[in-house]
Amino acid sequence: MMNLIKDIKISAALKDVCNSIIEGHRISAEEGVLLYTQADLGLLGVLANFMREKINGKKTYFIKNIHIEPTNICIYNCRFCSYSKKKHENGWLLSKEEIFEKVKSYKDSGIAEIHVVGGVHPDFGVSYYADLLKGIKKIIPSIHIKAFTAIELDYMIKKDGLNYSEGLKILKESGLDSIPGGGAEIFDEEIRSKICSKKSSSSLWLSVHETAHSLGIPSNATMLYGHIEKYTHRIDHLNRLRNLQDRTGRFNAFIPLKFRNKNNEFSNIKEATVIEDLKNYAVSRIFLDNIPHIKAYWPMIGKDITQLSLSFGVDDIDGTIDDTTKIYSMAGAKDINPTMSSDEMVKLIKQVGFEAVERNSLYGVIKEY
């Protein structure tokens, strides 16, 4: 590896960064920006794959899961969002009974996880969602429930007059097993004010996750990229996550989320290219040396780009989904009916030379193929 870097014609500064990565040293924020601005895609792929194989070998994970979206009615009006509706508009709200019926239909399907995320509905607090969790667990007691973004949690907990610790304890006792990473968007306060000014702040997002971690509730993290942010904003975002992970160690995975420009206020913004997607996965894998997994959410980028991403630091492609999510299809993702069988996921992984591993929500191995 050292010899390979030695022979590449790059700046001395970039070569120093490459050597630091190979020698196992943590890179700085400034060096992260340098990777974005100076390293070509081939070099980033080599470095990211080096990090990927050091942490996870050639293992590539997937899970049998479904998504439940209780409502797309939301108090917020984020400019990049194609999903949310106001209460008086033509949105949906599933009753608890409808959700329970959906869960019952998967009772004997072998799914390992139910992912519950939706809009921030104005009417519901912690008690409502605690009952929802209890009902799901009653139907499938062994299921792992990964539910509610920090933005949803911030609202529902405050609505019931609780602090984060009190609210999260109630939800944990009711069946909450982990938290997804949504709602992070981009942490830079100036950019955030332009894309989602009404939404809970960056510091609140981080505080919710840190509190969850302190209570033994692990979580994921995300970053929305490809809109009006710059590379410095992406690295700042990654750095805040890395710092929190240093303190808690409870982030399981990081998922870069690509901005899609259909049916929202940013439809005039051109979407990031595939090259930019792969670059972003690679820099994320290199920079986040303390978060074990980098996930490509395949309904967002498509199956073909997901395959490519496995050579740019990605070691997780999420789950079977079973056509149970609308968030990205409403924003223009090409897989408008997102579902893959286990066999299809195994084939997708093996076709590009990686090892397929079915996992549970906490990355315990269920089956190696």
d(CA 348, CA 342): 10
Domains recognised in the chain with CATH numbers: 2-39 (no CATH), 59-368 (3.20.20.70)
Cα 96-182-64 angle, rounded to 5 deg: 65
Interacting residues of 305 by C-beta distance below 8 A, sequence separation 6+: 274, 277, 278, 296
Determine which helix (DSSP H) or strand (DSSP E) holds 293, and give its type and residue range.
strand 293-294
Tens place of pLDDT per residue across the chain (369 aa): 656 566 678 899 999 999 999 999 999 999 999 999 999 999 999 999 999 999 999 999 999 999 999 998 988 887 777 766 666 677 889 999 999 999 999 999 999 999 999 999 999 999 999 999 999 999 999 999 999 999 999 999 999 999 999 999 999 999 999 999 999 999 999 999 999 888 889 999 999 999 999 999 999 999 999 999 999 999 999 999 999 999 999 999 999 999 887 776 678 889 999 999 999 999 999 999 999 999 999 888 889 999 999 999 999 999 987 754 444 444 444 544 567 889 999 999 999 999 999 999 999 999 999
Residue whose entry in the numeric block shows the structure tokens 């505080």? 207
